[in-house]
Chain A
């Protein structure tokens, strides 16, 4: 019927809003997200028009509403807490308590020495053994880890990428010796080397042989382990390294496409392995966006796999994922607030439709979780599952004007990221060119600057600080004790085993690595059966493949651009210029990582901000020994060495560094530390000669001010 058309909801809203805002433009209510999405104050039915498959059910292409039709109504998500402590026995006891307390699956955290393929008695790893997870040197350790835990009925997830062959082989042999056939094993191996090369840095071999290992494992699992997820394609570490959610989503799915191509190159059919690919995302504090990310991930993956590989089995299109609440969102200040953060993050994972979930403990910005904090973390999920009624309906957000529009918008952005990667020749090539690393580092520098400037509020950190920090009981790891115990076990193992058989299996492994023929995992299993160690198997492969040394890049100018015209920053710049006059050069700092801890986001953000202030910053390679760092400090004649530490190795390695500097006649070089350093460690560090210690979430201008004061003081003294 002709006549004046009824105003749309949006028009009605704009009129009403203008009145409420006394005539101000309602567009001032736009929120710019870090992803570059402008959120409007109100979403309406018009926002749904361009969305395809809106009416599709859960369990139906493109699976936006969930990979399975009934979702949690028939089976709730799996509570899977990631844990590993020092020794296999300690971790085993912890796992058993967790299973008794309602946990459904296990998730093993290994120490960094194991990740990087070193036995505990290797001289490079003395500071890392048993620190950030459990030390596993051999199948004997693996058997102790799962002692009394039936591997045929307990699903086990293992976060392992670098030393993936010996660790997965040890798990397989441990199960064999429990009498469990391979076909009954269920769980997941992370086996995602691309994101290691991109952000997490616990790789061992160069990209090409690393990709071969991934494909070998997918191939082996496809033939022998039908219930096992042969890879967990992970975006988690990208978000932890600072990626915005569009980057996390885009890069993760682009990794997935690369892995599919690697498996196809083995002559596997897409439907043989694609149903066993699994994913792993972070859920941070960006509540709506996280829900949208998981919904978009499923739909986008289904579309991409359909477009590129046209499978016939619809399970090949289903993205199943594990989620973990964000580690970087945890604060060292007023840490009980972290319980609230973790709850919100867990809620977004559940509302997004995750298949399993890890919730972080409130004290993890300070140390590995204590018994108490680990229990509360697990209880967070139990409460969501049993008290809040979240399992009663499938995808409660389906059809929401806002959520559906946001899902679509995020999906479009991720698609653009994927297109960029594909245009670069796929993810392996893009990584070679440094594309994803650069994008993530820019995002990380922006985020840090926003927090430091108070543009992003973090309660208890840059606003609403607690009048006094509560005292917490933290878990303390006695590195020396673990180290001694592991060394003793290795000695025993090597005494008892058949050395000739070990050498024969290692030679066979080397031969497969050299020739490119034959599956590396089955050769590793043979070596583990005769008690070859994790370190020996890794070294045998390194004999052929070499050990990869990744390059460290950092962005410049991003952090400083947030402080244009800012008085505090300008004052710091002036102090740098004055110091430059006095010193005859810029203040120079070596930013270094000691031991096997590859978390370098913190070191790089600090490097980038200090360079933006006018420092000359030497970036040291990853995985250094104290002697190597001391030599670099001397050769480059730096004023300061900054040690970034996230995995507890500082207690042993930093005092060693100071001794090494003294040996080289450079006792005047000042050493400062930052990262995850429990306050209990500080007295020992200061006693060893450390000048300054910075906790996590220290604001960079404050860090810079203290560094400058240190240099100003010593330049006057001389």
Chain B
């Protein structure tokens, strides 16, 4: 049996270390390991349709991790197995990162039925790690049926994460009034559900008012499919169970009306597209002959000898047949 098959088998039998090692493998930047990673991904089989993937996004300090900690504990109690893929930004300067999610999910990280894996963004825009979609598949193959993808809240991440999950939960900080009204349109459009967090005792009335006004403005800009807006406190656990129920309802309705499957189909197409684009980009940096031809073509465009689109098309038709050669 090959190493990849062994790893796939260990992973499917629920060995934590196998899942951890498998994630490292698919996240590896070494091209030699890519073949192994692909063999592994092929070996774990078809993606599960029973799983539910929830993207959790929101500005730093909104309490995303604390909320996942609380949500995850309720889900475990209800019989789910929970994986959390937390993405921490890498420093653009050093490429390093501090991954602190376990300190924010202390209850969940002590649960044997939960698996939390923080990953650095490694320079990928949009606030998710490069291989998150593949890591989701690994977690599901290891038997985790509820997968949270927590992203750093920086503008684009909401749209990015929407392309890999079944439901995007936007976490808002209660009492941040102004921020809500100036919330970016893209953020709201990507959200399938919105939770006002940190509505602890004395802040609850304000949070309820904010939620009401957001509901009103959403019904204008989103029409029929208004995302549910909830008010809760992850710290005191108030409203968390209701949020889990709302998420489950969301999943059930989406499965019934077919939108669940349609969304996953569209996502798979999008993953394919981005994998292809990534492959092309890599080809033009890794292969010296490609890099040279590309530079020459770019030069001819720069001096006005050929147009950008025709030079690109010529380059591709000339070079692509030689890829395997």
Q: Determine if A611 and B96 form an interchain contact, defined as CB atoms under 8 angstroms apart.
A: yes
Majority secondary structure, B binding face? mixed
Complex Cα distance, B91 from A176, in Å, reads 59
> Which of A206, A556, A664 lies in contact with B16, CB distance below 8 A?
A664
Chain B residues whose CB sits within 8 angstroms of the CB of A551 once the complex forms: 65-66, 100, 103-104
> Which of A549, A612, A666 lies in contact with B107, CB distance below 8 A?
A549
Complex Cα distance, B17 from A577, in Å, reads 26
Chain B residues whose CB sits within 8 angstroms of the CB of A612 once the complex forms: 91, 93-94, 96
The reply to whether the CB of A68 lies closer than 8 angstroms to some CB of chain B is no
Complex Cα distance, B101 from A616, in Å, reads 13
A window 419-470: CB within 8 A of B? 433-434
User: Among the interface residues A583, A617, A636, A666, which one has the most CB atoms of the partner chain B within 10 A?
Assistant: A636
Q: Determine if B94 and A585 form an interchain contact, defined as CB atoms under 8 angstroms apart.
A: no
A window 537-563: CB within 8 A of B? 549, 551-554, 556-557, 560
- CB-based nearest B residue for A564: B93
- CB-based nearest A residue for B31: A584
Chain B residues whose CB sits within 8 angstroms of the CB of A611 once the complex forms: 91, 94, 96-98
- CB-based nearest A residue for B15: A665
B window 102-154: CB within 8 A of A? 102-104, 106-107, 109-110, 115-118, 120, 122
Chain B residues whose CB sits within 8 angstroms of the CB of A607 once the complex forms: 98
- CB-based nearest A residue for B19: A635
Flag the segment in A143-151, A263-271, A519-527, A626-634 that touches B. A626-634
The reply to whether the CB of B33 lies closer than 8 angstroms to some CB of chain A is yes
Flag the segment in B22-30, B41-49, B224-232 that touches A. B22-30
Chain A residues whose CB sits within 8 angstroms of the CB of B17 once the complex forms: 634, 664-666
Q: Determine if A556 and B98 form an interchain contact, defined as CB atoms under 8 angstroms apart.
A: yes
Q: Determine if B16 and A608 form an interchain contact, defined as CB atoms under 8 angstroms apart.
A: no
Q: Determine if B16 and A613 form an interchain contact, defined as CB atoms under 8 angstroms apart.
A: no
The reply to whether the CB of B301 lies closer than 8 angstroms to some CB of chain A is no
- What's the interface size class on B, roughly? 35 or more
Q: Determine if A632 and B109 form an interchain contact, defined as CB atoms under 8 angstroms apart.
A: yes
Complex Cα distance, B103 from A131, in Å, reads 25
Q: Determine if B96 and A637 form an interchain contact, defined as CB atoms under 8 angstroms apart.
A: no
Complex Cα distance, B20 from A456, in Å, reads 43
Least Cβ–Cβ distance between A478 and chain B, in angstroms:
31
Q: Determine if A585 and B97 form an interchain contact, defined as CB atoms under 8 angstroms apart.
A: no
> Which of B27, B93, B100, B103 lies in contact with A585, CB distance below 8 A?
B27
Q: Determine if B118 and A584 form an interchain contact, defined as CB atoms under 8 angstroms apart.
A: no
Chain B residues whose CB sits within 8 angstroms of the CB of A614 once the complex forms: 94-96
The reply to whether the CB of B6 lies closer than 8 angstroms to some CB of chain A is no
> Which of B20, B104, B109 lies in contact with A637, CB distance below 8 A?
B20
Complex Cα distance, B253 from A331, in Å, reads 64
Complex Cα distance, B98 from A612, in Å, reads 9
A: residues with CB less than 8 A from B are 206, 433-434, 549, 551-554, 556-557, 560, 573, 576-577, 580-581, 583-586, 607-608, 610-622, 628, 631-632, 634-637, 664-666
5 nearest A-B pairs in the assembled complex, by CB-CB distance = A584-B28, A584-B30, A552-B103, A611-B96, A549-B106
B: residues with CB less than 8 A from A are 16-17, 20-21, 23-24, 27-30, 33, 61, 65-66, 90-91, 93-100, 102-104, 106-107, 109-110, 115-118, 120, 122, 235
Known: A557-B91, A586-B97. 18 other contacts (CB 8 A): A551-B65, A551-B104, A552-B100, A576-B94, A580-B95, A584-B28, A584-B29, A607-B98, A616-B90, A617-B97, A619-B98, A619-B100, A621-B106, A628-B110, A632-B109, A635-B20, A635-B116, A665-B17
Q: Can you list 12 pairs linking A and B with CB atoms under 8 Å apart? A: A433-B61, A551-B104, A557-B93, A584-B27, A584-B33, A585-B24, A585-B29, A586-B120, A611-B94, A612-B94, A612-B96, A636-B118
